Structure 1
Amino acid sequence: MAFPLLPLLAPSSIASTPDLSIVGYTLIGPLLNSEDVAITQKYISKNFGLVEFSVQVTSDIEIDDIIALLDAGVDTVFPETGEQATALLEIGVPGSRVVFPGEDYDDVNGVYVSSTAAKTELATKLSKSVLPDGTGNKKLYVTFTSPPTLEQVKQTVALPAIPIIPAESLTTDSASSAGKLSVASIFSSALNTDRSDGYFSTLVVDTQGVALGLVYSSEESIAAAIKSRAGVYQSRKRGLWFKGATSGAVQTLVRLELDCDGDCIKFVVQQAGKGFCHLDTTTCFGKSGGVMALERTLASRLKNSPAGSYTRRLFSDEKLLSAKIMEEAEELTTAKTKGEVAWEFADLLYFGMTKAVQAGVSWTDVERNLDSKAKKITRRRGDAKQKWIDAATKTEEAPEKPTGRIQLTRVDVSEISASELTDLLRRPAQKNANIMNLVGPIVEAVRTRGDAALLEFTAKFEKAKLDSPVLKAPFSPELMELDQETKDAIDLSFENVRKFHAGQLESAPLVVETVPGVVCSRFSRPIESVGLYVPGGTAVLPSTALMLGVPALVAGCKNIVVASPPRSDGTLTPEVVYVAHKVGAAAIVLAGGAQAVAAMAYGTESVPKVNKILGPGNQFVTAAKMLVQNDTSALVSIDMPAGPSEVLVVADKKANPAFVASDLLSQAEHGVDSQVILIGVDLNEVELQAIEDEVHEQAMRLPRVDIVRGAIAHSRTFQVKTVEEAIALSNKYAPEHLILQLENASKYVDLVQHAGSVFVGAWSPESCGDYSSGTNHTLPTYGYATVYSGVNTHSFMKHLTSQELTPEGLKKIGGAVVRLATVEGLDAHGNAVRVRLEHLAKEQ
């Protein structure tokens, strides 16, 4: 419900009329001619969004001019004649934007009439016909033939009706005087409350409608708020409360509104300072999110982001920001699924808001423009410009492949600051903002609905309609039919991986006598049930099945479950089935993504529950793994967080440019979010150019060149002077794969502190570790090599400890145990030793 008063502004006195925007809406009129129309349009354009404007037009105003006013943002029109009102409705103006003169009309916003201001006359003439039950969306507006008294206005409000009063007859003072009616008194006359103290519940919101808190108002506080244009409320303990008077978190009052039955007030304010709540949060309901939170963050970063940071680059590099906006807009146009559209729209909104903040445009300004567009009556055809129609047509028919040189960006480390180097070493930003919001419902659906949900998600994401989500061992031979060459390659790789991982087994338990008579031991046991996630997507990865399945077999896991997304026909690649068969897997889950992780974590009617989930995957897989690990009801662990694949190559003058380029490209082809880094040690322009030429030429011959191009776009070459400097830089980056293409490379391995796996020398390509050398290729990415190891035999095992004490051993350490237990206040702990020592003393 709007303010129970409609101020009337004459076009001729707009500039000199006191600001009454606090009432939320204003009637301008009567408009007599085209000059009045022009003045009104200009005034509305300047103030749109702060006030809802209506216009009162005479019969001399053309229908086209009225339409132009509605297009400019006028909310409702008060025509002088019924014929005008009918004409507007007939040409398509919504009835919600027309107020009919003089009598009820079924399809319009309401009616307005002129009255002598006698309540009984109004009640008799209008209440029964216009507002028969005193409710509904239709409004009754009343003008007066002579200046009304405050009591007459209050009688009008009580009908209920909305009085129309010339603005010059109103005052924001707390009381009426000198022929001016108090706005505060009129507003209060529409209120009612059943509280014993007479206070009114008051909801405080910002200009975007976000609730800041719930307070109380009185007639006195309302008058003070209107007079001061500030947030003034009624404290139940301290009297009038001027918000922010002590904290500085003041409020500018934008407008007042009522709820539908007049027992709750809404204060629309602009909040300054830390926030509304005394706990220094934006709202009393905790932190706000969404677009408003984004706007605040970007505004802060505009002022405070460090030089060289990504956000600072966006604000300072006009071309970069424009390119990102166009890039995200294009990605939004090609998004298909609900999740993709939400994701890409959020990206576009982020970069769009960055440009808005840079230009000093607030989200409120954007909303005003949206509201303005929504009020337009005249509709555009909606056609796109021809160049964009042509671009969309090309994309739909045959997308143009990117062209141009494929080249890493060069960075001379000696020419940048430490903070700039840190910023350049950051991986491509992962879109984590809403990932858990997307993954959470999937995991929950599988947890609660089991196989049914798993089959639905497989049909949705993999386009495969299955009768069962699981293949049980033994697997049918026709599911793993392979040519002999492929089988031989898998068998050789299987044996090498088995040898290396078997070598990691402990030959005997660790036994240590810490003092005479106290023997401590440590021994391993396999994890009974493990889930192995083997990605599908853009590449078939039987090698991942090997790298996970073989150490699980070596460790002695009793139950091995493989999960991998099926092809659209419902089958798996035979290579994966063959590896699952060789490692003794009990089942293969025909699913990918978060749904596969959830199925193995909780178990379903068909999928066995596992104790640990291992394996790489996209962001959805990683998010799901982390989510289920943190759910105590799942009781499942994971191997490590994982991100896109990456490689860092350190190359000196002796390195073969073709070798270096091939190693970089071997990881770049994994996905557009992969990153490859080259650190060139004292390379001159000719040597750098030779590597860059090889990168481009080899990439252009690859089937996955488009993926490579995307990865190389955010990859870099760092130029340094020494090997020691190069490896220090590598340790800071902590790559998944580190390749040392150096003369006498082995002597530098001791300098490496952080890497998933190291490939030493020119003849040790990363590809060998991926498949057949024997080491594991499931490695920590995204910098996690600083704290995580790659998958190994012990990833599938747990360690137990034991201790065995003789009486003599207990005597040697018993006193220390009792003392420390006493210090910690755990008397029962100490007593367990004390009773034994006393028993031994009695035996002596």
Structure 2
Amino acid sequence: MTFPVLPYVSSPLDVDEFAVTGKALLPFESFKIEKHALNGYPHSLEVNIDVTQSKVSVDDIVALLNVGVSKVFATEAQFAEASEAGLPSSRFAIEYASGSNTVFSKASVVVTEKLSDEQFKQVSDNENKPVYFRNTVTQQQAEELAGAGYVLVLPSTELSKSESSSKICIGDVFVSTLTTDRPDGLYTTLITTPAPAHTALGVVYLSKASIKAAIVSNEGVYQSRKRPEELWYKGKTSGATQKLVKLERDCDSDLIKFVVEPRTGYGFCHLSNHFTCFQDGDLLESKDTFGSGMSRLDNTLADRVTNAPAGLYTKRLFDDDKLLVAKMKEELDELIEAGEKKDKDEVAWEAADLLYFAMAYCVKNGVRLADVERNLDIKSLKVTRRKGDAKPQYTEQQAPASQLKPYQMEVIEASAANSDDIERALTRPVQKTADIMKLVLPIIKQVQQYGDDALIELTAKFDGVSLSSPVLNAPFPPELMEISDDMKAAIDLSMSNIEKFHRAQLPTEEVMTVETAPGVFCSRFAKPIENVGLYVPGGTAVLPSTAMMLGVPAQVAGCKNIVIASPPARATGKLTPEVVYVAHKLGASSIVMAGGAQAVTAMAYGTKSVVKCDKILGPGNQFVTAAKMYVQNDTQALCSIDMPAGPSEVLVIADENADADFVASDLLSQAEHGIDSQVILIGVKLSQEKLQSFEDAVRRQAEVLPRKEIVAKCLAHSYTLLVNTYDEAFDLSNQYAPEHLILQIDDAESYVPSKIENAGSVFVGALSPESCGDYSSGTNHTLPTYGYARQYSGVNTATFQKFITSQNVTEEGLKSIGKAVMTLAAVEGLEAHRNAVQVRMDKLELH
């Protein structure tokens, strides 16, 4: 039987608080119907949706059931309409009035008052279906109803995990339903793991006190039989702690099941060789993982992602995408071949191989077996089915999907195109932020909880580098910044130019003061942000330019504490020496040797070794961006960021006189960043010959680039827009709001700034490639992407400053504005505000 309380939760953000019950009921308006809707909820949670107060169609209900909602709570009228459409009644809970003759077949019922024993027996189908009670209750009434077999539907705001005078304690409600025939009054309890293994770990005994303590602490808490006066907090001394996922009772209410997640690397048994109490020997060797079959494979692969020794085949698969994909295709072919031979043993053998490579692919992409099973369970709940035919490309030979040649961008004539085509060209590739956030949140929580230890563990996992400390403090060892003289000269020149440009942005006067009215002096002055965290991507890349672009403005602004975060190189286990050299020149206080969401989290919240930063800046992948967006919205972090970030992009406006090689090189310099980057070419009054020369130059240059495969994929979703006038070109550019805008047109200077409304940075004329701004011209290359140039500026000196205002009101000033202040305060009903002026004017006799 389930937990006797069904929490009614107003927002999906709040389901975790009472997830130990194993279920939740949400209002229809709070639930977003989409393909992967339930993937954002705990795997163990049964999600139910209440539509009784909503205007919904049968199609809405079908959509809810198809995405995996367990039950829909509906009115009789809504249920009748759904039944006529052939929807299964077992997936509904229906409002029921005492005395009603309505027969709900397999549907559950929801009542607002206690039924007679005969009525309860009837509507519960002899206790084969839950009966939900939905009304206001006291603690005593809740316990009595639960003891009588009802599942209480109560707002989560009226529930508590611990005893409360004003809320319903769910622990006491659960305990009130239990029975035991043991002389000591304890309850026999089976401990299991959650999906996918559902492994029975062993048997323990619980008291009422331990049950309530487990619910409060969300961990395994049991009753010690040797010391009846003590509760046994599992792993308190051994470290073998358990997270309580949910608890249930059996049909007789005399056996409890605790579903727990054991701490990684620890078993349940007091004998350290065994994962369970059934002498399985799963932990005999330190490298061993527990379980059997698919579950053991899943655990082993998850361990290998972090700990696979060099030379291991699994590690080779994780490091080589092409090999892993090729092996999946190979094993699928061999499975099909075995099936065609009707060889049962060979089919089983080849299926095992295919499952191994498929699970390796899943784990490499952050998907565990429990996630796969969750999706299978969701699909089993669908109430409509597709025809199920294979896609055409798998049943017959098809013509190529695209008629575009390699390295060719789709051409759209803007004057002849409809608005949909223009919108399609100016729309960036979709970023799946929800999916990314699911992967990022556990990392954020891990760093928040374990600090430096988490950074060390995650750096080993993601970067393959073992560290003793996650932070390198200044002064930095000279041997870590050994670079060539040419590189030093290039960095020195670039930093000098960047400093000149950013120093010129400082306010010309220390305090700006304006007398807004006689005797009223308003001032503004700038102060540097004290602690700033600068994220510099690393790993396989060498990016000293990012350290310069972020660090020099911070230095110019006067930031007291500059912290740089950059992951060590996998190949050497060390920081990029160019980045260390730049950090040294900037006077940075420390370098956090970590990347990704973990580095952002450490700087936002601080750890034992990492200084908490007031602002975090810098580009990064989707994980870095997701972490930055999260921490800036968390009031516990009290941390701002520079801007949202997306894939790099460029828009080039070119006319008939533009050099084709120059145009092609500018497009390709952005296309090589990644497959999710985008490049746009707007051609003004181009002849067909000129357009062809651009396309030929792009193809010729792309074919010799080391990242040509990435370039080809980027160009496949990039566009050339043809317009007749320069005004049309700038209108489209301002709609797109590009990160980089390059003007390869006649008299380019004359269009700046009058025609530019939205752009991160503008590169004027044929001899101003975007690369110059990336490194050495002096402007900043940390710029708004994804259309955010409409609202955000690129990084500049003011990015590292805060502007404080002050006012000095004299007696003359109070006389000038006092009456206006009091009038406005009075109309807003803020009497204390009005009085603050009144008492001063009275004392000064200003009437």
* Residue 456 of structure 1, CA deviation: 1.0
Tell me the distance in 2 between the aligned counterparts of 1:777 and 1:228.
Answer: 57
Per the normalisation by structure 1, the TM-score is 0.58
Tell me the distance in 1 between the aligned counterparts of 2:677 and 2:531.
Answer: 31
* Contact in 1 for aligned 2:408/2:715 (Cα 8 Å): yes
Range moving further from structure 2, 551-560 or 697-706: 697-706
Pair 1:630-2:633 in alignment: yes
SS at match of 1:598: helix
Amino acid at match of 1:693: D
Task: Report the counterpart of residue 835 of structure 1 in structure 2.
Answer: 839
Amino acid at match of 1:619: Q
Alignment match of 2:812 (pick from 803, 808, 812): 808
- Closer, same or farther in 2 for the Cα pair 1:712/1:215, shift >3 Å? closer
SS at match of 1:550: helix
Task: Report the counterpart of residue 825 of structure 2 in structure 1.
Answer: 821
SS at match of 2:562: strand
Task: Report the counterpart of residue 499 of structure 1 in structure 2.
Answer: 500
* Residue 753 of structure 1, CA deviation: 0.3
Runs (5+) with no aligned partner, structure 2 = 2-63, 105-120, 132-152, 157-324, 331-356, 396-403
For each residue in 1:419-454, what CA deviation from the matched residue of structure 2 results, as whole angstroms up to 9, or x when unmatched?
Answer: 331122111111223111111110011011101111
SS at match of 1:433: helix
Tell me the distance in 2 between the aligned counterparts of 1:783 and 1:240.
Answer: 60
* Residue 779 of structure 1, CA deviation: 0.1
* Residue 748 of structure 1, CA deviation: 1.3
Pair 1:340-2:360 in alignment: no
SS at match of 1:265: coil
Task: Report the counterpart of residue 567 of structure 1 in structure 2.
Answer: 569
- 1:475-486 paired onto structure 2 within 5 Å: 475-486=476-487
For each residue in 1:307-361, what CA deviation from the matched residue of structure 2 results, as whole angstroms up to 9, or x when unmatched?
Answer: xxxxxxxxxxxxxxxxxxx99x9899697473615399999x99xx9xx9xxxx9
Task: Report the counterpart of residue 592 of structure 1 in structure 2.
Answer: 595
* Residue 633 of structure 1, CA deviation: 0.6
* Contact in 1 for aligned 2:66/2:382 (Cα 8 Å): no
Alignment match of 1:557 (pick from 556, 559, 564): 559
SS at match of 2:845: helix
* Residue 212 of structure 1, CA deviation: 2.5
SS at match of 2:689: helix
| Residue correspondences, number | 529
SS at match of 1:647: strand
Tell me the distance in 2 between the aligned counterparts of 1:724 and 1:209.
Answer: 51
Task: Report the counterpart of residue 135 of structure 1 in structure 2.
Answer: none
Task: Report the counterpart of residue 13 of structure 1 in structure 2.
Answer: none
* Residue 536 of structure 1, CA deviation: 1.8
Task: Report the counterpart of residue 701 of structure 1 in structure 2.
Answer: 704
Amino acid at match of 2:824: L
Pair 1:728-2:728 in alignment: no
Pair 1:517-2:519 in alignment: yes
- 1:660-699 paired onto structure 2 within 5 Å: 660-699=663-702
* Contact in 2 for aligned 1:233/1:241 (Cα 8 Å): no
Tell me the distance in 1 between the aligned counterparts of 2:818 and 2:655.
Answer: 61
Pair 1:770-2:774 in alignment: yes
Amino acid at match of 1:629: Q
Task: Report the counterpart of residue 212 of structure 1 in structure 2.
Answer: 71
Amino acid at match of 1:532: L
For each residue in 1:369-419, what CA deviation from the matched residue of structure 2 results, as whole angstroms up to 9, or x when unmatched?
Answer: 99xxxxxxxxxxxxxxxx99xxxxxxxxxxxxxx96311111111232113
* Residue 210 of structure 1, CA deviation: 2.8
Amino acid at match of 1:606: S
* Contact in 1 for aligned 2:460/2:467 (Cα 8 Å): yes
Range moving further from structure 2, 833-842 or 741-750: 833-842
Tell me the distance in 1 between the aligned counterparts of 2:436 and 2:651.
Answer: 28
Per the normalisation by structure 2, the TM-score is 0.58
Tell me the distance in 2 between the aligned counterparts of 1:600 and 1:772.
Answer: 28
Task: Report the counterpart of residue 467 of structure 2 in structure 1.
Answer: 466
- Closer, same or farther in 2 for the Cα pair 1:362/1:711, shift >3 Å? farther
SS at match of 2:367: helix
SS at match of 1:841: coil
Task: Report the counterpart of residue 410 of structure 1 in structure 2.
Answer: 411
- Closer, same or farther in 2 for the Cα pair 1:764/1:369, shift >3 Å? closer
Amino acid at match of 1:836: R
* Contact in 2 for aligned 1:232/1:241 (Cα 8 Å): no
- Closer, same or farther in 2 for the Cα pair 1:238/1:543, shift >3 Å? farther
Paired-residue identity, %: 56
Tell me the distance in 1 between the aligned counterparts of 2:683 and 2:382.
Answer: 46
Task: Report the counterpart of residue 621 of structure 2 in structure 1.
Answer: 618
Task: Report the counterpart of residue 490 of structure 2 in structure 1.
Answer: 489
Task: Report the counterpart of residue 647 of structure 1 in structure 2.
Answer: 650
Runs (5+) with no aligned partner, structure 1 = 2-204, 244-256, 268-282, 287-325, 371-386, 389-402
- Closer, same or farther in 2 for the Cα pair 1:723/1:365, shift >3 Å? same
Amino acid at match of 2:686: L
Q: Tell which structure's C-alpha radius of gyration is larger.
A: 1
- Closer, same or farther in 2 for the Cα pair 1:431/1:488, shift >3 Å? same
Tell me the distance in 2 between the aligned counterparts of 1:449 and 1:635.
Answer: 19
Tell me the distance in 1 between the aligned counterparts of 2:535 and 2:486.
Answer: 25
* Residue 537 of structure 1, CA deviation: 4.5
SS at match of 1:585: coil
* Residue 507 of structure 1, CA deviation: 1.9
* Contact in 2 for aligned 1:212/1:285 (Cα 8 Å): no
Tell me the distance in 1 between the aligned counterparts of 2:635 and 2:418.
Answer: 45
Tell me the distance in 2 between the aligned counterparts of 1:404 and 1:767.
Answer: 27
Amino acid at match of 1:468: S
* Residue 651 of structure 1, CA deviation: 0.1
SS at match of 2:844: helix
Pair 1:756-2:760 in alignment: yes
Task: Report the counterpart of residue 543 of structure 1 in structure 2.
Answer: 545
* Residue 795 of structure 1, CA deviation: 0.3
Tell me the distance in 1 between the aligned counterparts of 2:543 and 2:584.
Answer: 15
* Residue 709 of structure 1, CA deviation: 1.8
* Residue 711 of structure 1, CA deviation: 1.5
Tell me the distance in 2 between the aligned counterparts of 1:410 and 1:586.
Answer: 51
Task: Report the counterpart of residue 532 of structure 1 in structure 2.
Answer: 534
* Residue 664 of structure 1, CA deviation: 0.6
- Closer, same or farther in 2 for the Cα pair 1:284/1:707, shift >3 Å? farther
* Contact in 1 for aligned 2:648/2:785 (Cα 8 Å): yes
SS at match of 1:751: coil
* Residue 777 of structure 1, CA deviation: 0.2
Tell me the distance in 1 between the aligned counterparts of 2:425 and 2:644.
Answer: 22
RMSD between aligned residues: 4.0
Amino acid at match of 2:685: D
Tell me the distance in 1 between the aligned counterparts of 2:65 and 2:678.
Answer: 43
Alignment match of 2:611 (pick from 608, 614, 637): 608
Task: Report the counterpart of residue 239 of structure 1 in structure 2.
Answer: 100
* Contact in 2 for aligned 1:232/1:242 (Cα 8 Å): no
* Contact in 2 for aligned 1:600/1:607 (Cα 8 Å): yes
* Residue 671 of structure 1, CA deviation: 1.4
SS at match of 1:677: strand
Range moving further from structure 2, 414-423 or 233-242: 233-242
Task: Report the counterpart of residue 786 of structure 1 in structure 2.
Answer: 790
* Contact in 2 for aligned 1:410/1:717 (Cα 8 Å): yes
Tell me the distance in 1 between the aligned counterparts of 2:517 and 2:560.
Answer: 37
Tell me the distance in 1 between the aligned counterparts of 2:364 and 2:803.
Answer: 42
SS at match of 1:414: coil
